[in-house]
A and B are shown apart, each in its own frame.
Chain A
Amino acid sequence: DQQVKQNSPSLSVQEGRISILNCDYTNSMFDYFLWYKKYPAEGPTFLISISSIKDKNEDGRFTVFLNKSAKHLSLHIVPSQPGDSAVYFCAASRFGAGGTSYGKLTFGQGTILTVHP
């Protein structure tokens, strides 16, 4: 049972344009969502996050939107740069569960983003 899904295995965009990566989840208990970027032969690196009490969070070129009623979040990258080419993972957690379960992440399958010069 895949609780977090990224239905687009890959996305190709032109440099300078917007990249939109999508993620859907099924577990309504998730209350904190994160995006990670991963280059080959490296570990995932944190990009941006959003709490379920918000519907938008922005950090420079990166903006995450959360639609709780649709159980959907998206990552917008504007403008896209060739260095953004990587695998992007959406992840969700139950921060409210607290205690010993703190920080456990459920990941989507990932989307390969390619930004062409």
Chain B
Amino acid sequence: DAGITQSPRHKVTETGTPVTLRCHQTENHRYMYWYRQDPGHGLRLIHYSYGVKDTDKGEVSDGYSVSRSKTEDFLLTLESATSSQTSVYFCAISESKGANTEAFFGQGTRLTVV
């Protein structure tokens, strides 16, 4: 299994509070991604990183920010949580090796905003 750890695994928070989710990898992969999974939508890309301090927006980035100060850590922050951000969040990593290669996913963080 790819060495990806997400923390926390579960969190309940109140509307309007800031929340930070952490993704830690031990594979030294260049690329890291945050997705959210919602019924009827599959997984949707929130933000991604292509190197330390290099990040860009995905399909559903509004209300989220990210930071990557080290290769191994990718943080996702909800500045002011809303009920629409209740979801399961997945971190993924990948590496380009001159050929197509798959992304490896973490176990997920279930976030509930009440």
**In contact, A34 and B102 (Cβ under 8 angstroms):** yes
**Interface hits, B58-114 → A, CB 8 Å:** 58-59, 90, 92, 94, 96, 100-108
Give 4 nearest A-B pairs by CB, closest first: A43-B105, A107-B42, A103-B94, A46-B102
Give the bracket for the number of chain A residues in contact with chain B: 20 to 34
B62 to chain A, nearest CB (A): 16
Determine the residue in chain B with the shortest Cβ distance to A50: B100
Q: In whole angstroms, how far apart are the Cα atoms of A35 and B108 in the complex?
A: 18
8 A/B residue pairs, CB under 8 Å, sorted by A: A44-B43, A44-B105, A49-B100, A98-B96, A102-B94, A104-B33, A104-B48, A108-B42
Name the A residues within 8 Å of B96 (CB-CB). 98, 102-103
B interface with A by C-beta (< 8 Å): 4, 31, 33, 35, 40-45, 48, 50, 54, 56, 58-59, 90, 92, 94, 96, 100-108
- For B104, the chain A residues whose CB sits under 8 A away are 46
Shortest distance in angstroms between B76's beta carbon and chain A's nearest beta carbon?
15
Cβ of A88 to closest chain B Cβ, rounded Å: 11
* Closest chain B CB from A68 CB (angstroms): 16
CA distance A46 to B92 in the complex (A): 11
- Bound form: Cα–Cα A46–B103 in Å: 7
Collect the chain B residues with CB atoms within 8 Å of residue A109's CB: 40-42
Is A42 at the interface (CB under 8 A from chain B)? yes
> Among residues 30 to 57 in chain A, which have CB atoms less than 8 Å away from a CB atom of chain B?
32, 34, 36, 41-46, 49, 51
Using A89-B43, A105-B43 as known contacts, say yes or no to A100 and B56 having CB atoms under 8 A apart: yes
A99–B103 Cα gap in the complex (Å)? 15
Q: How far is the CB of B106 from chain A (nearest CB, A)?
A: 5
| Chain A residue contacts of B41, Cβ below 8 A | 109
Bound CA–CA A49/B100 (angstroms) = 9
Interface string of A86-102 (1 = CB under 8 A from B): 00010100010011111
